[in-house]
Every structure is written in C-alpha cells, then in structure tokens.
Amino acid sequence: MAFRSPFAIPRQLLVGTTSLGGRSAISSRLRCNQRGLATVVPPVTQDATGSKGPTAMVFMNMGGPSTTDEVEDFLSRLFADGDLIPLGRLQSYIGPLIARRRTSKIQKQYADIGGGSPIRKWSEYQCAEMCKLLDKISPETAPHKPYVAFRYAAPLTETMYEQLFADGFGNGKGGRAVAFTQYPQYSCSTTGSSLNELWKWRNRLEGKRANGESEPAGAIQWSVIDRWPSHSGLVEAFAQNIEAQLKTYPEEKRDQVVLLFSAHSLPMSVVNRGDPYPAEVAATVHAVMQRLKFKNPYRLCWQSQVGPSAWLGAQTSDTVQEYVKRGQTDLILVPIAFTSDHIETLYELDQEVIHEANNPGVKRAESLNGSPVFIQALADIARDHLQKGELCSRQMTLRCQGCTSERCLGQKKFFAGQEHASMVV
Ligand code: FES
C-alpha cells in the first residue's frame, strides 16, 4: 500500500505489506494510560502568592516505545495521526491495521538497539536537569516542575495533563505551564501535531466542554516555545559533538572530513504546502557551520524517505554511498533535527547507513542526549521565554500557505491568546 506521509516515518516502520485487522487508537491510548505514567513530581501549591511560580515545564516530542511490548501501541498511534500520515476518513481504522502488520519487524529493530527507545529516559533527564538550572536563573518563576508529553508513546499528553491536575495545577487552581517543543525546527507534522493534541486534551479536560462554561476560571495558563533552530546554545552543543568526532581523525586529514547533516525528510507535497521545517533545518546547519568557521565541506541530506511519492532529498543513505564510491571515505553524519538518540540514529544511521558503508572513516557525531551545554541551552531558552511573557512566537500565528486545516486554525488561535488570535491567518 502506498501512502503519503507529511513527515518522514522511519523507513523501518513502513517496510512490509499491510493487512486489515487491529486495535483502535483509542483503546491503545487507554492501555498506555494504564501502563505509562507521567514524570512524578512532588505536589505543588498553586495558591502561593507573591511569586509567578510554580511553573510546569512540559517537554513535547514524538516519543518511542521504551520496551518491545510497547511497539504496537506506538505504531498504532503514529499511523492514526492524520497530521503525520494523512489516510483520509478511514485513518483511525487503517492506521492501526498498518501498524499491526509491521509490529514484529519493528520489535526486532528495537531489540537490536537495546530493547527499546532511549527517548523517554533522555527526555525526562533533560527536563529535570533543565528545571534545576531554571530554579537558579529564573527564581521568580520557580519552582519549575518537569513533565514529558509524548505524541505516540507513554507518557501521553492526556497522562501528563492528569498529572498536572494531581500536582495542583488547573482544575480551578490556575497555574502556569509552558509547552516546550523538543523539535528545534518547526514542522506542522511534528510540533504542530503535538500542539493539536495538547489543544484537544486541554479543551476536553478543562475547556468549554469540561463544565459548560466558555472559559472556566482557574484553567492552566499555557504558553508555547515553538521553535529554536538557531539558538546559540543549541548550535554550540552540536558544534562540540562534531569537534569531538573530528578529533578521532588524524590531524592532517581533519579539515577534509565531509560533514553530512541528516534530518528527517518530508514529502514534497508538504514542502510545497509551505511547511517551515526545511528552512529551519537549513538555518541550524548554517549556524553550526558558522560556529565551526566553515572549516569542513558539508551537505544537508534527508533520511527515512518512504513510498513512491516525491520526497525532499538527497537521501542520506544515497549520499553516503555516492561519496564513498567517489573515494571520499571520511564522513561524519550529524543528526541535526533530534535532541536525543532514537531509532533513526541508533538503527537507521548506525546499523544501516554506516554499517553498509563498510568503511572506518564513516562515523556519526554523538546525539545531544546528556550534553550539559545542551541542557544549559534549554534552560536559557526557557528563561528567556518566561521573562518575555510571550505566549508563542509570532511565526506561530502564520499558517502554511496551503493549509486548509480548521484544527490548525483553532489551535493557533488558542495558543496565540485573545490578544493575537486575530493575527492567525
Ligand atoms: Fe501548516 Fe496547517 S499545515 S499550519
């Protein structure tokens, strides 16, 4: 079955034939709610006046199965997401069916990278460490409480929201929460999808439908950090990891090593709709190269292309093969659009692309993971956001030129706030 995905689905998720038969995304959500718990934090008191805190800091990302048993639920949600993979009116039926068909193959791949995705471990660590720093550099909004909300794996958005209630936020008590995307570069398929999900659950749990009021008093006040592609701390963290890998080459060869920045691809239909992601990824690459003083030749390439439709290229695997064939065997792959390891780095790059290159000069820069420079950058971005008092970036108020989604419109109006809702076009 061929279909078009607005964001690069890991190639390994899409290999194989589809069949009909599977569980619904809703039941998957419920199962995940039962098993997956949001980050546990001590209760907070919302009525502590005289301070702008406490502040809930919510990291949003796609997530990944922490164990092989979670793979089917993860895939079911992923294929049920029309923002990521538009399958039309039958999305909620077809998506889980495709997922079920692929589950055993993908389980093997997660087994090969250690039994599950490390993204939850890294996200919870990064968020908790960032909050500790924020308590010091932004005492007026302290204490900062860490939460993680994944789009396709535990802890899901609704689980995180219930945890906020349990910790004393919202439900009439108010309080402030910041939705901090962990996709540095904005795509409507990634950050946009996470915000659509957050908006949906906010409305269900404490919006108009929660108690019949138009805007119930004491709801959580949300703001959004929606993109940060060229933040100096992010750039520094990437640059340091590249420099560390460059040092593994003999000094006389070091400047000739080609840097291959690799990001998820997008179907050209999404690019042509006006998605901001390609331009923002390019901005990150340029900023990193500027920091490295353009000492090495470099290219940006795109991974995880699937299906027969046209995708943004050149593909990472083809790029590596082509350069190696030409005799350029010193290459460093740099995952530039994710903030921690996941299956696309640990399996697709390490066990497929680099393994197939079969050359010791082809290597990968470490992912940001526990980089203290990166975590400081997260804290700086969050502090600046809190101090500015902005609800979201101005860029968030502009929909893609080709967007016809009422959900995008409603979500953006909500997060832009009453003052700027009229600017959303
Ligand atoms: Fe980009 Fe709707 S698809 S704003």
Q: pLDDT tens digits for 165-202?
A: 999 999 888 999 999 999 999 999 999 999 999 999 99
- Are the C-beta atoms of 160 and 149 separated by less than 8 Å? yes
CB of residue 424 inside a 6 A radius of ligand 1: no
Backbone angles phi, psi at 301, to 5 degrees: -130, 170
| Assigned fold of 49-62+118-227+391-425 | Rossmann fold (3.40.50)
Give strand pairing partners of 408. none
Q: Which two tokens stand for residue 104?
A: 């055993």
Residues marked active site are found at 231, 380
How confident is the model over 92-110, as pLDDT tens digits? 788 788 888 889 999 999 9
CA-closest residue to ligand 1 atom 3: 403
Instruction: Compute, in angstroms, the gap from residue 254 CA to the centroid of ligand 1.
Output: 42
The ranges assigned to domains in the chain are: 1-32+65-116, 49-62+118-227+391-425, 232-364
Which of 401, 404, 405 is the best mutation target for the ligand 1 pocket, counting ligand atoms within 8 Å of the beta carbon and taking the most? 405
Longest dimension (CA), the chain: 70
* Mean per-residue pLDDT over the chain, rounded: 86
Q: How confident is the model at residue 269 (pLDDT cuts 50, 70, 90)?
A: confident
CA-closest residue to ligand 1 atom 1: 400
CB of residue 188 inside a 6 A radius of ligand 1: yes
Which of 194, 408, 411 is the best mutation target for the ligand 1 pocket, counting ligand atoms within 8 Å of the beta carbon and taking the most? 408
Amino acid at 223: S
CA-closest residue to ligand 1 atom 4: 399
CB of residue 400 inside a 6 A radius of ligand 1: yes
On the question of pLDDT at 157 being above 70, the answer is yes
- As a whole number of angstroms, the distance between CA 353 and CA 356 comes to 5
How confident is the model over 369-425, as pLDDT tens digits? 999 999 999 999 999 999 999 999 999 999 999 999 999 999 999 999 877 888 888
| Assigned fold of 232-364 | Rossmann fold (3.40.50)
Instruction: Compute, in angstroms, the gap from residue 127 CA to the centroid of ligand 1.
Output: 27
Is this model's pTM higher than 0.95 or not? no
The pLDDT, as a whole number, for residue 93 is 81
CB of residue 405 inside a 6 A radius of ligand 1: yes
CB of residue 220 inside a 6 A radius of ligand 1: no
CB of residue 412 inside a 6 A radius of ligand 1: no
Do 49-62+118-227+391-425 and 232-364 share a fold? yes
- As a whole number of angstroms, the distance between CA 413 and CA 425 comes to 9
- As a whole number of angstroms, the distance between CA 216 and CA 141 comes to 24
How confident is the model over 286-299, as pLDDT tens digits? 999 999 999 999 99
CB of residue 266 inside a 6 A radius of ligand 1: no
CB of residue 219 inside a 6 A radius of ligand 1: no
Ligand 1: atom nearest CA of 398 is 4
What's the Cα-to-Cα distance from 156 to each of 120, 163, 339, 367, rounded to whole Å?
11, 11, 19, 24
